[in-house]
Amino acid sequence: MRENARPLAAVHYYYLLKSDEEDLRLLWNSLTGGANLQTGSPLASTLPELGLSGPEKTSGRCQIIQKFDGPDGDFCLCQLSDMSVIEVTYWKHDEPLESEWLRVADAIEADRDRLLSGLNGVFGETTLLVAPANTGFEAMVDAAARVDGAALQTPLDPAATGAGPALLVHFPDLAADGRDYYALAADDPGPFSATMLPEVDSLIKKLGRSASYFEIQRQTVVSERADVDRQVGDLLHRQIISDADAAPETEILEEQIAALSRLFGLLATDSLLVRQSSDRLSRDIKLLNQELALLASKDSTDETGRFYLSRFNLDLAEAETELRNLDFSRQNAQAAIEVVRTQVEIMRAGEEAAIQKQSKEILSSSLVLQEERLALQVAAGFIEFVLIFYYVLKSWEGIAGVEPVEHISPLLRLLVIGSFSASAAVGTHFLAMAIQHRSVKSVGLWISAGILVLAFIAMELLTIANS
């Protein structure tokens, strides 16, 4: 029992997040009438002096920071890993159990509104009604029978609680707005009520909050997933329709890929969120399981544990189901992206084939043109040769006179004028190429020029010889 060995009637717990320091200070001051709240090193080392020497394991995690004995109740501030707990202890007056509990319940309710009005809101509250073990079991069973709803019984392990035979009854159907109700029958509930219950209870509250938060998150994710599934279905349907009529533009398909990729990203983000929630639930359920296993008697059924574990495991199963659904939707989106991408690739391949065909046609046309140009060049060269031949002959006759020219052998005349005309025609071609390439390093040009000069000299010599 606690300090002055007075039996407990009830304990009311206020749970606050560690981050809500100002609310903690306000609530502590309101409860204690302004007793200074000491912060800093926990007073865990003083536990034995306070009569709170619970098992080392639990007292090590739920540490008492400060105590204050008031005229109507005692107050204790404890620290959990991420939460602060203010415990208000109500001592037993020598009244019958039921009237005792009613008195305490009235006392708690009387002050609640005043205490909580200036606060942002506490994380949760719990009322623990206590009865002596010898009379309490029957009384609690009677009380449980009168409660409208379930009364879950958990016999506590005397070795773990250090409190002798004890029975904890939880009333889950009375829970509302973060408030829970328990009843305990035990001869020495001190260690259990001071340090052990807050640990388990805060864990159940946190899990309840996480599960509720996850449920809202899950509903949003389910709605988003349904929307994504619909959009993916619409896009694929449009693919089928467009296949039936005419092939869509590549740009439209690329826009569809972008839209599908965005949806895929949305599903991936949702999966991450659900995975995080699922991991958190799984971790906390495991922790709760461990805590309950420490508390509950090994020889009997822990109804409270069974109730909460099955409830939270159901939430976990829903998370796992949703993860599978998200994976399935993500695979659908991925498949849709592949379908549209393949279509784009097919279209691009078709376009490339058309371009190649066009290139071949252009190449063929170019070859035909080249052949035609060559034929024209040959024809033009021949005409040029004939014209030069004629004019050279006429010019030779005009300059040297018809008679001397006629005395020259026709074969020799043909050879000389033919050589002159051919070298002139071919030389013109080489000259044009030399101008085009800005170079006179053309063997053909020089040979042509040489033949031209030799033919000219031959004409001169033949004229002189026949004059």
Place of tokens 């140009």: 373
Residue 382 binds another protein, judged by CB under 8 A: no
To another protein, the closest distance from the beta carbon of 1 in angstroms equals 33
Nearer to another protein, 67 or 206 (CB): 206
Helix axes 97-116, 133-146, angle to 10 degrees: 70
Find the distance separating the first CA and the last CA of the chain, reported in whole Å: 160
Pick from 134, 212, 269, 377 the residue near another protein by CB under 8 A. Answer: 212
Confirm if 194 and 78 have CB atoms less than 8 A apart: yes
Residue 146: which of 176, 100, 183 has the closest Cα?
183
Helix axes 410-437, 443-466, angle to 10 degrees: 150
What whole-number distance in Å separates Cα of residue 364 and Cα of residue 247? 30
Residue 35 binds another protein, judged by CB under 8 A: no
To another protein, the closest distance from the beta carbon of 287 in angstroms equals 11
The count of residues in the chain is 467
To another protein, the closest distance from the beta carbon of 351 in angstroms equals 48
**Interacting span for another protein (CB under 8 A) from 18-26, 52-60, 167-175, 325-333:** 18-26
Residue 14 binds another protein, judged by CB under 8 A: no
User: If residue 148 lies in a helix (H) or strand (E), which one and from where to where?
Assistant: none
Pick from 14, 90, 101, 123 the residue near another protein by CB under 8 A. Answer: 123
Find residue 87's DSSP bridge partners: 13, 76
Pick from 46, 120, 219, 359 the residue near another protein by CB under 8 A. Answer: 120
Pick from 2, 11, 14, 20 the residue near another protein by CB under 8 A. Answer: 20
Pick from 17, 50, 236, 287 the residue near another protein by CB under 8 A. Answer: 17
To another protein, the closest distance from the beta carbon of 342 in angstroms equals 41
**Interacting span for another protein (CB under 8 A) from 156-164, 212-220, 292-300, 433-441:** 212-220
**Interacting span for another protein (CB under 8 A) from 72-80, 98-106, 211-219, 426-434:** 211-219
DSSP state of 182: E
Residues 58-117 interacting with another protein (rule: CB under 8 A): 82
Would you state the structure tokens that stand for residue 87, as one six-digit string?
């415990």
Residue 210 binds another protein, judged by CB under 8 A: yes
What whole-number distance in Å separates Cα of residue 43 and Cα of residue 66? 7
What whole-number distance in Å separates Cα of residue 191 and Cα of residue 55? 8
To another protein, the closest distance from the beta carbon of 277 in angstroms equals 9
- Residue 140 sits at the vertex; the CA angle it makes with 172 and 47, to the nearest 5 degrees, is 80
Pick from 19, 301, 331, 356 the residue near another protein by CB under 8 A. Answer: 19
Torsion of CA 56, 59, 63, 64, to 10 degrees: -110
Residue ranges in contact with another protein by CB under 8 A: 17-20, 82, 120-121, 123, 177-178, 206, 209-210, 212-213, 216, 280
